Structure 1
Amino acid sequence: MPIDLRKHDPDDPITIRPETNKAKIIKLLYLNTNLGFTPAEIQDELDLPRGTVSGTLSRLHGEGLIGKTSDGLYHGLDHREDLRRFAQSLVSLDTMLSRYPEAGIDPDDVEQTGASAKTEIPTDRLQERDTPREEPTPEEWVAAENDEA
């Protein structure tokens, strides 16, 4: 998936790929930062092995990506708006993939393009442009909507 270099920050601290155990835990904890979960609750909720959950929670906490209360409850951090947006994007991705399973794309393809992608994206679903250009103007959006109707 191409990245808009005007908005790209190479120092972005979020380097978590969708469909990893880290992403699953981040999504669970950041959908509501007011909730705290025990490792057993996270294990049950996500259907992950116990060792995987405890190891991943330790790494996420050590990296400062999640919080842990003194009595062992893990939670999302209120000040990490970037991780909250990341979790919301994972929910959106899950929704899109469940609505359009025939697109031939799975979560592993999200950050992979071209020859390195595990699943080739059907070319009839891609819009090819001769030259890259800026975002469409509002007039172009209206014209495109009228063409589709």
Structure 2
Amino acid sequence: MRLHQKLLLLVALLVLILPTKSLATDWEYPFVVWEGYIYEVTDEYVTDVDIEVGEVTAYSDMEQLSGNFSNTYEVGTKYYTIKGESSDEVIAVEEIDGKYVKAVKIGEYSIASGFQGMFNGQVGIVPIIIIGGFIALFIFYERKLKRIRE
């Protein structure tokens, strides 16, 4: 078997056995993002809503997005303050049936960097780097063999 055939077979095997980044995200809980903070949506309904403070600007149940993002509620879903409670701690999210559900602030929201996946089991760029390395090796050895033949 020639060298380039061996390299091609090795690259094909690596592509098949290396895990790639999942297209879907496994969310732990329903949430909304407002002003850079993530709020976990609870099962508790509230009736004393006050001022509209925002709305969902991006929805996906598959990937993280920027803005007032939600993994549960569609674009246009409104956020409200709750009378007697600080919006730094909780907000109300309007549901389709006109009811309001409490969402509790749990921390800052940030979109994970594309390179972060390399270190938490979600390999995305690593196969590309490996394949690129093998292609470079293939070109190097082909040129070396060509010089030896001449």
Q: TM-score, normalised by structure 2?
A: 0.22
Structure with more helix by fraction: 1
Q: Which has the larger radius of gyration?
A: 2
Structure with more strand by fraction: 2
